[in-house]
Structure 1
Amino acid sequence: MNKGIQVNSEIGKLKSVLLHRPGAEVENITPDTMQDLLFDDIPFLKIAQKEHDYFAQVLRDNGAETLYIEDLAVEALDKSEEIKKNFLTTLLTEHGYRHGRTFEELQAYLSGMSTKDMVTKIYAGVRKNELDIKRSTLSDMAGSDAENLFYLNPLPNAYFTRDPQASIGVGMTINRMTFPARQPESLITEYVMAHHPRFEGTPIWRDRNHTTRIEGGDELVLSKNVVAIGVSERTSSKSIQQLAKEFFRNPASTFDTVLAVEIPHNHAMMHLDTVFTMINHDQFTVFPGIFHGDGSINTFIIKPGKDGEEVEIEHLTDLEKALKKVLNLSELDLIECGNGDPIVAPREQWNDGSNTLAIAPGEIVTYDRNYVTIELLKQHGVKVHEILSSELARGRGGARCMSQPIWRDEI
């Protein structure tokens, strides 16, 4: 397959995609840790894996190469002992451990494993009963909450590969994620991008070493020139402006327009792609709950500045008008999740009825449970591949959340 990244749309034929198969980390959620780990329920792992395998097979059956981030991480870290050691040092430091007995014993424990076992363990988490560590000083206890059963917390959100990074054009953002529960995921991405030969020379539009937050579920590539980004619970307006400036000044970028869309800041609508996705040249799914009572929504068209200004920002309150303007469209088909019904729409949005993954223009993958939205999509001429959704949906993410396109055909 092609090396590097090529993602110049949300709808080009999907040729290569990044996934993570849920593992033991899902079973390391407890009722007491669900909130901190950003879960509302605990999926049944055996069924979740079956559903994820079904999803991956649908992608392969439709011509996509499926890459697993855990496999790429093993290959990247296996390049040298120095890379592996640096990764572990950064991981432990970011968990709050200082050099001392706990740090050293955790590092020895993990580095003593094969790289594959080490990566699997990092996703699953390191429980305190796995190691008998006698801490000698108060400073040595940093990062080790006495009530926590883990030295390293599990990463159960990792099967939502959309968020730690975002493939945009020929490059990638490696994201500073909002909550500590997810921040180690983009550290794994950082090492894959830096050390895996497949991504050698790939531009990094924005690295994770920022104080402002951004996540991939808010980053949508509408065309070779236009990126839409949600102003959301997980992505700040400051991050969007910083990224827009990088697109405008970097010669490897083809993007000259960023459309910022302000959505409600809550758990039900955590990312733009949970309420809005592009599925064809002129077709989008949308959850009506993002609009104010008068049908308005704040949108901001960001373009390179003139007369010495870094950027120019135009404020609109009509999403359809904004989309038509940035995409040069005369007509638009906004397909409402749950057919806009006041009961069905929020129920199906909660179960990711708006979180569809386009695998070709007018052809999508989505959860089978959102049958009202699916029927409406079919009425609008969309080809729908339905995937199983009993357990995966408990994590509050659908087909787009569970996938990070690496290569799409041009449209």
Structure 2
Amino acid sequence: MVHYVDSEVAPLRTVLLHRPGAELARLTPRNNDSLLFDGIPWVTRAQEEHDAFAEALRSRGVEVLHLGTLLAETLAVPQARAELSESVLADQRLGDALRERIRQYLDDQDAQRLADVLMAGLAHEELKPGPGGLVYEMMDRLDFVIDPLPNLLFTRDSSLWVHDRAAVTSLAMPARGRETTLTRAIYRYHPRFAGTDLLYDPSLENLEGGDVLLLAPRVVAIGVGERTTPAGAERLARRVFAAGLADTILAVPIAQERATMHLDTVCTMVDVDAVVMYPNIADTLQAFTVTAGPDGEPRARGPRPFLQAAAEAMGIERLRTIDTGLDPVTAEREQWDDGNNTLAIAPRVCVAYERNVETNAQLERAGIEVVRIRGSELGSGRGGPRCMSCPVQREALQA
């Protein structure tokens, strides 16, 4: 099966989502900060909201793949099962005795239960009865011997597609590092993705999918900030150029504040020549233009205003901007609620949280159809529709 993505806005055909599950129920006031959530979501309501999101996509002709289902199917492959089990057992916190107990536990599970454990984690008390050595005995009963992965919800971050290649990213935050082992195994071992070339690998420099925008078929923007390093942006540029997938990379420095940790939290595309953008940053956002030199090595120049650099690289007169709010207070409120983290499902059609009333009105005034979804609980992890989706197939963008 051919998977292909060369833009942010061409008609979406297949998308990878993760329906939130038991991993969200593991969040408590004691651990939600370390697991990168602002609050404790109501799991049942989050699932209802996510189901409605998936159905909204299906109603527009989009095939929805669920990460949990793909993972369970992948674990039917012995090599995948062994590789993912070893990735958990490599945790140096465990000690030999506890590691052996966990190994035995994992070996006893069928593919579906093993997938559940790899996503939702394993609590200390779930390993009883039996001795576990010093490490196990000194743990608190509420500790995890395998940490849960509540951020799996945001499938955009752990992988992205550039043309017909998948890039499995390198996540910066320790709480998310194991997510990419699951995604990589799916792309390597699941029959649906057989033969897929991997463009990036978790062992490389930090790079996250929320920082990567495919502005045009041969133009890629990469946000550089809290999650993606300059070295990660350069590594992806080097690999994209070597594979002949793009002519221009725009490296975009972004602010380090929590509300702007990824490029797609301040800017997403809603048409072939339009972005919805947080107005407080539109006039100050800069970009370095990176191209391949005669020797194939990346060469950077700049910086210059992002909107100008993007329009030039895309071969258009200007990149239209749609503000997220008419006044600074509204813009800031709706920026915090991921008002501009939209998912384009076709040119001039996007999915957005219904709660961002003014941003959605702004989009509609600009001729963009807005498919509204609920997100009161889904948004507790600070991510919108784009964050929660990884397109694996779009139609090729027509010039």
Shorter-chain-normalised TM-score: which range?
over 0.9
Cα deviations by residue, 1:17-60 (Å, 9 ceiling, x for unpaired)? 00000001111111111111001101100100000000000000
Of 30, 33, 38, 2:31 maps to 33
Equivalent residue runs for 1:109-124 within 5 Å = 109-124=105-120
The aligned residue for residue 277 of structure 2 is: 286
Question: How many Å separate the matches in 2 of 1:357 and 1:73?
Answer: 24
Check the 8 A contact 2:342/2:350 in 1, yes or no.
yes
Equivalent residue runs for 1:198-277 within 5 Å = 198-210=192-204, 212-250=205-243, 253-277=244-268
The aligned residue for residue 331 of structure 1 is: 318
The aligned residue for residue 296 of structure 1 is: 284
Identity over the aligned pairs, expressed in percent? 37
Check the 8 A contact 1:264/1:290 in 2, yes or no.
no
Question: How many Å separate the matches in 2 of 1:233 and 1:222?
Answer: 21
Number of aligned positions between the proteins: 396
Of 190, 207, 216, 1:196 maps to 190
**1:175 pairs with 2:169:** yes
The one-letter code sitting in structure 2 at the alignment partner of 1:363 is V
Of 284, 296, 316, 2:303 maps to 316
SS in 2 for 1:399: coil
SS in 2 for 1:162: helix
Equivalent residue runs for 1:27-176 within 5 Å = 27-80=25-78, 82-94=79-91, 96-98=93-95, 100-132=96-128, 134-136=131-133, 149-176=143-170
Check the 8 A contact 1:85/1:111 in 2, yes or no.
no
Cα deviations by residue, 1:280-306 (Å, 9 ceiling, x for unpaired)? 011101112335xxx332211100013
Question: Offset at 1:71?
Answer: 1.0
Question: How many Å separate the matches in 2 of 1:160 and 1:176?
Answer: 14
The aligned residue for residue 378 of structure 2 is: 392
Question: Offset at 1:148?
Answer: 5.9
Check the 8 A contact 2:124/2:136 in 1, yes or no.
no
SS in 2 for 1:230: strand
1:95–1:171 distance in 2 versus 1, CA, 3 Å:
farther
Question: How many Å separate the matches in 1 of 2:104 and 2:132?
Answer: 15
Question: How many Å separate the matches in 1 of 2:350 and 2:231?
Answer: 32
Question: Offset at 1:94?
Answer: 4.0
Check the 8 A contact 2:352/2:370 in 1, yes or no.
yes
Question: How many Å separate the matches in 2 of 1:51 and 1:150?
Answer: 28
The one-letter code sitting in structure 2 at the alignment partner of 1:349 is Q
Cα deviations by residue, 1:191-218 (Å, 9 ceiling, x for unpaired)? 11110121112121111112x2111100
1:155–1:305 distance in 2 versus 1, CA, 3 Å:
same
Structure 2 stretches of 5 or more lacking a match? Answer: none
TM-score by length of 2: 0.95
Question: Offset at 1:85?
Answer: 2.1
Of 393, 396, 399, 1:410 maps to 396
1:155–1:375 distance in 2 versus 1, CA, 3 Å:
same
